[in-house]
Amino acid sequence: MSEALEITGLRKSYGPVEVLRGVDLHARAGEIHALLGENGAGKSTLIKVLSGVTGAGAGTVTLGGRRLTLGRPTASTAAGVRTVFQELSTIPQLTVAENLLYGAEPLTPWGLVSGRRLRAQARELLARYGLARIDVTRPLGELALGDRQLLEVVKALREQPKVLVLDEATSALSSEDSAWVLEQGRRAADNGAVVLLITHRLAEMRAHAERLTVLRGGESVLSGATADFTDDELIVGMLGRRLEVLYPQRSGAPGDALLEASGLAVGDRIGPLDLTVRRGEVLGIGGLQGQGQRELLMALGGACGSRGSVRLSGSPYAASSPKAALAAGVALVPEDRQREGLFLQQQVRDNITIASLRALTRPGGLLDAGKAEAAAREQAVQVGVATDRLGTVVSALSGGNQQKVVLGKALLARPSVLLLHDCTRGVDVGTKADIFALIAELADRGVAVVFYSSDLSELVHVCDRVAVMAEGRIVGEVAADALTEQAILRLAVGVTPTRTEVAA
């Protein structure tokens, strides 16, 4: 059987930096082909070339034997390439229906978009994928991030794609939604499409991809059937080194209570809820998506108004603003790195230091440039951003590395409470391991960490204890000794808590 997608010798430079250095990739129709690699390896760039949004310096792409004209989105679209991009590409101001059928709107005889048929088709499309619960007339921006990601997938599937690219389409999703996305991928493959799956979750990849290609530094270093490689081999392929452990061993026991919230409520849908985090403890926040986890973290970080009382080291803590929170030693890594975390057009060093300016200022009010540089450098090393990229504009970093910059910014503020909202989203295994090690180290130094992740296994392995939320309330806790994915899920979906726990 001839290979449906053949990429040979693909090269691509951004200015002087060569990002793809001769990538080869061969994928068959009907298979899910995983594309692996550490952050910045060039996966997304490869995808952008494939989908025509950027051109390439050299190399060819053939699809079903036909050579693809590079650098023209229309050409790729016509050839049947559909991409779910790593950074969301749906348009918040347009409605769900308008987004789903963007570029293929049903027209009336007058050449206008027929609103009625547009909505009907959108509903039909959603119904086909079991998402009829989503109201097609809502502006997309009002939906939760997860739903938006799902719609992104639906949109890509709109017209039977020949190549479906899922660029970290699952990284922001709960396991349930991830499963849904991957199932759609499988269906597309069964219909004869090539599905390119980019993910940093090896288990996910193993469960779904038949074959894989590993990129490192813009070159393809491994390719073949998934079953032929062990995880270790893949990791060495990706990172160029062994990974001793992914989840670190925790040593110290949690200390006394550091952050205590009681009757905390946000708006009229979230709370009231009580929560205690101890020094040196990693408290996980679990639950299905959109159950108020975001609001909880935002409220604790001073980023949105809340009621109720919070105490920090025993004294009252008014999280009236992120500034107040940071001053009190509470730092937040927000959910949406592009909209909440980063100044995309500023340099890495400026992004890292922005939340800690006070500490970097000389008495006269001027910044201590040397100190700032050193701090940024130290932080970059700690989170794993190459120090020679300190002068790079953040938008030119790969998604995972952008995430590390946000983390670096929060850590430089030297928090005693660290609120992490999905901080490993889109981060490669190597760096993930580093981040987990970092969390463990911080906790061992007495920092209280509140950790929310859409990845259940991370919750299980990283946290000392997980509080599970549903409908804006904390519905139960899973203690360290009973911490399993099932335990969290059961609470999340409302199966009676404690007894089941004990039985398990």
Partner 1 sequence: MSTASPPLERAPRGARLSLPRIPLGTAATALLLLVLFVVDLNVQPGLWDVDQLGMLVQTALPLVFVAAAQTLALLVRGIDLSVGGVFAIANTMTAVWVGADGGWLMLIAVLAVGLAAGAVNGLLISYLNFQPFIATLGTWTAYSGIALMILSTDGGMVPTVLSDMLYASWLGIPSSFWIVLIAFLLWRILRASRFGHQLLAVGDDEERARLNGTPVRRVRLLVYALAGACAAAGGIMLAGVTSTGSPTSGDGYILLSISAVVIGGTSLAGGRGGFGLSLMGVFSLTLISDIVTGANLDVWVSVAASAVLLLVMVTIRALADRRTARSAA
Partner 2 sequence: MSRLRGHVSVSTASAFGLCAVLFLIATIHSSGFASGGNVRQLLVFSAFIGFAALGQTVVVLSGGLDLSVPWLMAFGGIQLSHWAGDGMPGGVAIALVVLAGAAIGLVNGVGVAWLRLPPIIMTLAMGGLVQAYLLSLGVLNTGGSGVPHAAEAAASDRIGPIPVVALVWLVVAIGIGIVLARSAAGRRVYAVGANDEVARLSGIDVGRVRLAAYALSGASAAFAGVILAGYVGSTYLDIGAPYLFASIAAVIVGGASIMGGRGTYWGTVAGALTLTVLSAMLPLFHLSDAGLKVVYGVVILAGVWLSQSGGALVARLRQRSSSPTPASPEVKSVEP
Cβ 155 to partner 2, closest distance in Å? Answer: 26
- Interface with ligand ATP (CB under 6 A), residue from 57, 59, 73, 272: 73
Q: Is there binding between residue 272 and partner 1 (CB under 8 A)?
A: no
The H or E element spanning position 4 is strand 3-14
- In degrees and rounded to multiples of 5, residue 35 shows phi and psi of -120, 115
Contact flag: residue 398 with ligand ATP (CB under 6 A)? yes
For β-strands 163-167 and 3-14, DSSP reports them as unpaired
CB of 20 to ligand ATP, least distance (A): 8
Q: Does 221 bind ligand ATP (CB under 6 A)?
A: no
Candidates 287, 399, 408, 476; binder of Mg ion (CB under 5 A) is: 399
Residue 437 interacting partner from ligand ATP, Mg ion, partner 1, none (CB closer than 5 to 8 Å by kind): none
74 near ligand ATP, rule: CB under 6 A: yes
Nearer to ligand ATP, 82 or 473 (CB): 82
Q: Does 343 bind partner 1 (CB under 8 A)?
A: no
Helix (H) / strand (E) element for 189: namely helix 175-190
Among 334, 408, 426, 472, binds partner 2 (CB under 8 A): 334
Return the range that interacts with partner 1 (CB under 8 A); candidates 93-101, 345-353, 440-448, 484-492: 93-101
CA dihedral 284→287→289→293, nearest 10 degrees, is -50
Residue 133: CB minimum distance to partner 2, A: 29
For partner 1, the closer CB: 121 or 226: 121
Does residue 269 sit in helix, strand or coil? coil
Residue in 88, 150, 331, 478 binding partner 1, rule: CB under 8 A: 88
Block residue for tokens 């969301």: 88
Least CB distance to partner 1 at residue 113 (A): 5
- Nearest Cα to Cα of residue 438 among 381, 377, 370, 393: 381
CB 146 within 8 A of CB 173: yes
Positions in 125-144 near partner 1 (CB under 8 A): 127, 132-133, 135, 137-138, 142
CB of 298 closer than 8 Å to CB of 419: no
**Which of 39, 44, 45, 90 touches partner 1 by CB under 8 A?**
90
Amino acid at residue number 217: G
**Taking CB under 8 A as the criterion, which residues in 28-57 touch partner 2?**
38-40
Nearest to 452 by CA among 304, 310, 316, 300: 300
> Could you give the angle at which helices 369-383 and 429-444 cross, rounded to 10 degrees?
110
Q: Which of 22, 26, 53, 94 binds ligand ATP (CB under 6 A)?
A: 53
The site partner of 112 among partner 2, partner 1, ligand ATP, none (C-beta below 5 to 8 Å per kind) is partner 1
- 45 binding ligand ATP? (CB under 6 A): yes
List, in order, residues 6 or more apart from 60 with CB less than 8 Å away: 6, 7, 8, 9, 10, 67, 68
Query: What is the Cβ-side half-sphere exposure of residue 64, based on CA atoms within 13 angstroms?
Result: 12
Is the four-CA dihedral 438, 401, 41, 173 of positive or negative sign? Answer: positive
Question: Within a 10 A sphere around the Cβ of 276, how many other Cβ atoms?
Answer: 17
Collapsed DSSP state (helix, strand, coil) of residue 106: coil
User: Which of Mg ion, partner 1, partner 2, none interacts with 44 (beta carbon under 5 to 8 A by kind)?
Assistant: Mg ion
| Residue 135 site contact among partner 1, Mg ion, partner 2, none (CB < 5 to 8 Å, cut-off depends on kind) | partner 1
Minimum CB distance to Mg ion smaller for 237 or for 426: 426
